[in-house]
Homo-oligomer: A and B are copies of this chain.
Amino acid sequence: MKKLFTPLSNGSVTSPQGYYASGVISGIKKDKAKDIALILSEVPAEVAATFTTNQVKAAPVRVSMQHAKNGRVLGILANAGNANACTGLLGLKNAMQMTETVARELNAKAKEFLVCSTGRIGINLPMTKVISGIKKAVKALKADGGLDAAQAIMTSDSKHKSYAIEFEIDGKKVRVGGIAKGAGMIHPNMATMLAFITTDAVIDKKSLQRVTEDAVEMTFNRISIDGDTSTNDTVIVLANGKAGNNPIRSQHPSRELFRTALTHVMKTLSRMIVEDGEGISKVVEVCVKGAASAREAKAAAQSIATSALVKCSWCGGDPNWGRIMDAIGYSNAKVKEELVEIYFDGLLAVSNGRATKIPVKRLKTVMAKRNFTITVQLHLGAGEYTILTTDFTEKYVEFNKGE
């Protein structure tokens, strides 16, 4: 089968036509690393977004929710090093001032910019630094600035996360590119996770929002590092129409293609986030099959993926499947112990709820790898859910102990 999508080398948010980006040092981060990112479309773009489900929403989340609602936007402004969360009315004012500043510099309106912050909660933004940083970011905008922007949104990430692909819609070349940051507080319903996606596809707002929600549900919402859902999570997709394809609309076959492309980019970015989780040593795909419903499959998979004991056993390479049985047993999924099968990659470790004859040594060989899959078959129905998660390590604790 011909590959649908061609990955682009050094692909990022500036890979699609008509986008500029930058990443600069404003001084918010103590270590003088890039901490302000700006993405700009040369023409107003349709925008779709999903935000954290946490009731405690950071100020920039509340501002961006407003700005994403109506009309087209020009770009996204983000800072790292400070979450601007739990900062009250002053925080809200500061988030608004960020959009006003970038708008003034670019002769646009504040509502044409979305704003994001990531970093520690509960500290007011150093606005003098932020404002001069924004001015610097506007001056630094470049047609190949996507990687700079990817670096500027990093917090505890060890590397920047960036990806783009090209494909065709009705003979027109279309590109989708994205950058993301992750590392801690990563759990379905959005993580301390920012992901900015750009495309030059022509697509209406309603379709864009719909495919964005579908793609987020299949990707960013199915990763978990530590089970904590952050106050700042945001995924934003901009579509500026520069590719000149026939408009992607509901009922149009190209919508399915675009959805697949967007999902592919988000899936790649979300895996990069998990692979770069704070202090982790294993990336584990947890797949629950045969649940009574999809919702129950999700409950069982999440219970496994957030069990401290299960995650510790992964860290040590110990095929302690009893902890997996325990975790599904206390989940909200219906479980009949005597029907359960558990696979480590392809190896059947548990059948009818009991240990098989497989030598523990062979299971340990699977768990010695950095990446493996745990599949749980409940034999109660057709519900299925997969989540990408990590182990729990001493390094994670060490990393998250102090300031």
A5 at the interface (CB under 8 A from B): no
Min CB distance A314 to B, Å, is 9
A290 at the interface (CB under 8 A from B): no
A123 to chain B: which residues have CB within 8 Å? Answer: 355
Do the beta carbons of B325 and A121 come within 8 Å of each other? yes
A218 at the interface (CB under 8 A from B): no
Do the beta carbons of B394 and A337 come within 8 Å of each other? no
A320 at the interface (CB under 8 A from B): yes
| Given A309-B184, A337-B56, residue A322 in contact with residue B86 (CB < 8 A) | yes
Do the beta carbons of B325 and A231 come within 8 Å of each other? yes
Min CB distance A368 to B, Å, is 13
A269 at the interface (CB under 8 A from B): no
Which residues of chain A (316-338) have a CB below 8 Å from chain B? 316-318, 320-323, 325-330, 334-335, 337-338
A398 to chain B: which residues have CB within 8 Å? Answer: 394
Closest to A227 in B: B308
Do the beta carbons of A228 and B55 come within 8 Å of each other? no
Min CB distance A72 to B, Å, is 30
A56 to chain B: which residues have CB within 8 Å? Answer: 325-326, 328-330, 335, 337, 353
Min CB distance A54 to B, Å, is 4
Task: Give the complex CA separation of A99 and B315 in angstroms.
Answer: 38
| Given A53-B330, A228-B326, A308-B227, residue A313 in contact with residue B354 (CB < 8 A) | no
A148 at the interface (CB under 8 A from B): no
Do the beta carbons of B397 and A392 come within 8 Å of each other? yes
Residue from the list B86, B318, B397 in contact with A325, Cβ < 8 A: B86
A15 at the interface (CB under 8 A from B): no
Do the beta carbons of A394 and B392 come within 8 Å of each other? no
Closest to A119 in B: B322
Closest to A338 in B: B88
A401 to chain B: which residues have CB within 8 Å? Answer: 312-313, 315-316, 318
Do the beta carbons of A55 and B334 come within 8 Å of each other? yes
Q: Which of A308, A312, A316 has the most CB of B within 10 A?
A: A308
Complex interface bits, A24-64 against B, C-beta within 8 A gives 1, otherwise 0:
00000000000000000000000000000111110000000
Min CB distance A189 to B, Å, is 7
* Given A227-B308, A309-B400, A312-B401, 17 additional A-B pairs, CB 8 A: A53-B330, A54-B329, A55-B328, A55-B329, A85-B322, A86-B322, A121-B321, A185-B309, A227-B306, A228-B307, A229-B326, A316-B400, A316-B401, A316-B402, A316-B403, A318-B402, A394-B394
Please name 8 pairs of A and B residues whose Cβ atoms are closer than 8 Å in the assembled complex, sorted by A.
A88-B338, A121-B325, A121-B326, A122-B321, A228-B323, A228-B330, A308-B392, A316-B403
